[in-house]
Amino acid sequence: MKDQDIHDIITILKQAIKKYKIPIVTQYALNERNPFHILISTILSLRTKDQTTAEASHRLLSLADTPQKIVKLDKNQIEKLIYPVGFYRVKAEIIKTICQRLIDEYKSIVPDDLDELLKLKGVGRKTANLVITLGYNKLGICVDVHVHRITNRWGYVQTKNPDATEKALREKLPKEYWIEINDILVTYGQNLCYPIKPVCSQCFISKYCDKMGVTKFS
C-alpha cells in the first residue's frame, strides 16, 4: 500500500466495524473512563477471549473496585473471581502486587506516564498504552497481535514484533489515528482479517492491501 492510503483506509474501516462488537476493554472506557478498571481488565484480557474477560472483570471489580479493596482479598479469592481467564493464578498474583504498589508508591492512582506504568510488574507496552489512551485519553499507540499482523499485511510497516511495529507506527502513522488504531484493527482482525485465511473477498480495503504473508484466503 501507499503511505498516503492510510487516510482512506482508516475512514473506510471506521465505518465497516460499526456492525461488530468493540473490544471489551474499550467498552469499559466508554462506560466510565476509569484508568484502574482499564488496567485490571487489560491484564485479565491477555490470552483470554473477550466474553471471559468481561465476566471476570465484572466479578472482580464488582466486589473490589479499588487497589485498597483488592489488596484485602487473598490470592485464592482473586483466583476464584477471575477464573477461567488465561493464566489466572499468575494474573491474581500480578494484580495483587500491582495494587499494593499503587498504594505504596502512587497514592492509589494509576500513573498516566508510559515509563511509570512499565515499572509495574506484569505491565507491558500494550497494557500501558491502553491505559494511557483509553484511561487518560492521551496520545499513545497500543499494538497487539492484530495491529502488528494487519499493518504488516498491508505493507504499511515491515517489522518482526509488536514493539517494533509500535516504534514504526510512531514514526509514520498520523497522530490523529494513534488512539483509535488499536480498536479499529482489533475489531477488524477478530471478525474479518483473521491470522489464518482472512476473508479477503469481503474486505472493504482489499484494493489497498499488499496481502504480505497471506497464502490462503477466502
pLDDT, tens digit, 9 for 90 and up, residues 106-131: 999 999 999 999 999 999 999 999 99
How many whole angstroms separate alpha carbon 102 and alpha carbon 32? 20
Residue identified by cell 467498552 is: 27
Residue 149 has pLDDT above 80, yes or no: yes
The whole-number pLDDT of residue 44 equals: 96
The whole-number pLDDT of residue 128 equals: 97
Which of 132, 148, 129, 134 is closest to 23 using CA atoms? 134
- Average pLDDT of the chain is 95
How many whole angstroms separate alpha carbon 107 and alpha carbon 209? 47
Region 88-103 average pLDDT? 98
Which of 92, 152, 142, 93 is closest to 117 using CA atoms? 142
The whole-number pLDDT of residue 22 equals: 83
Neighbour tally for 213: CB within 10 Å: 10
Q: Is 39 left (phi over 0), alpha (psi -120 to 50) or beta?
A: alpha
The whole-number pLDDT of residue 73 equals: 97
How confident is residue 54, by pLDDT bands cut at 50, 70 and 90?
very high
Residue 97 has pLDDT above 70, yes or no: yes
Q: Which long-range contacts (CB under 8 A, 24 or more apart) does 21-25 make?
A: 21/50, 21/187, 22/183, 22/187, 23/50, 23/182, 23/183, 23/186, 23/187, 24/50, 24/51, 24/53, 24/54, 24/57, 25/53, 25/130, 25/134
Residue 188 has pLDDT above 70, yes or no: yes
Helix (H) or strand (E) holding 152: helix 145-154
The whole-number pLDDT of residue 105 equals: 98
Residue 179 has pLDDT above 80, yes or no: yes
The whole-number pLDDT of residue 216 equals: 87
pTM of the model: 0.91
Residue 202 has pLDDT above 90, yes or no: yes
The whole-number pLDDT of residue 26 equals: 83
How confident is residue 28, by pLDDT bands cut at 50, 70 and 90?
low
How many whole angstroms separate alpha carbon 26 and alpha carbon 5? 26
Region 87-98 average pLDDT? 97
How confident is residue 23, by pLDDT bands cut at 50, 70 and 90?
confident
Q: Which three-class secondary structure string do you get for 45-113?
A: HCCCCHHHHHHHHHHHHHHCCCHHHHHCCCHHHHHHHHCCCCCHHHHHHHHHHHHHHHHHHHCCCCCCC
For the CA atoms of 135, 137, 142, 146, what is the dihedral angle to 10 degrees?
90
Q: Which residue has the higher pLDDT, 38 or 33?
A: 38
Residue identified by cell 492491501 is: 209
